Amino acid sequence: MSITQNLTQLKASLKKEVTLVAVSKTKPIADLQEAYNAGQRVFGENKIQEMTTKWEALPKDIEWHMIGHVQRNKVKYMASYVSLIHGVDSLKLLKEIDKQAKKHQRRINCLMQIHIAEEETKFGLDASELINLVQTDEFKELDHIQVVGVMGMATFTKDDSQIRKEFKALKSIFDSLQKLLPQVTFISMGMSGDYKIAIEEGSNMVRIGSSIFGSRNY
């Protein structure tokens, strides 16, 4: 099926309160243009340089989401245009985003990445680290970032009950964070393989790549 057909089907199956982030990493600009022509306006990338090249080439009403791990020294390259950074997992990184956002006189929305998977390799904070972080004075002083939610990735497994358990854990962290920060509204969970479970468990933002653009070659 074509990108347009994939997108149309997927969107028809999602409730309107669920934001679809079309994950276009590694895909050529022509593929993103096709998705754009089919009405898609939110794209997710995991490399700052690649995202910036695509931002330069494509229409300016696209919302660009950084979904990958962010190195502090590269924040400056996306600070003028990025809409949402999903993978924030330290106060140090928040401070750098705040500093770069200030230079552009804007406020950058961020999601805190939570470690919910069993795998050691996935980035993120645990619940208590998150709750401690947002209660520090240093965090409260940052006025050019806004934490608007959480993001997490489940273990890569065929065991649906394991995935569901991890998503439930993220939803409960989201609920606790929302009590402390009223601006928290987004729970970014679910990819091509597990977004249906994620939505059942309360996700309102899914990051979907291969089900729209086809598989990637790496």
Ligand X SMILES: *Cc1c(COP(=O)(O)O)cnc(C)c1O
Residues in touch with ligand X (CB under 6 A) = 23, 25, 46, 67-68, 153, 191-193, 207-211
What contacts 24+ positions apart, CB below 8 Å, involve 120-128? 122/153, 123/69, 123/87, 123/89, 124/89, 124/152, 124/153, 125/89, 125/90, 127/173, 127/176
Cβ proximity to ligand X: between 98 and 152 the closer is: 152
Helix pair 29-37, 3-13: axis angle to 10 deg: 50
DSSP H or E stretch at residue 39? none
Cross-strand pairs, 21: 207
Least distance to ligand X, CB of residue 24, Å: 10
Cβ proximity to ligand X: between 67 and 177 the closer is: 67
Cβ proximity to ligand X: between 2 and 132 the closer is: 2
Least distance to ligand X, CB of residue 193, Å: 6
Cβ proximity to ligand X: between 171 and 207 the closer is: 207
Cβ proximity to ligand X: between 50 and 106 the closer is: 50
| Rounded CA separation 195/20 (Å) | 10
Least distance to ligand X, CB of residue 113, Å: 9
Least distance to ligand X, CB of residue 208, Å: 5
Instruction: Determine the residue with CB nearest ligand X.
Output: 209
Residue 143, both tokens: 């006025």
Least distance to ligand X, CB of residue 123, Å: 10
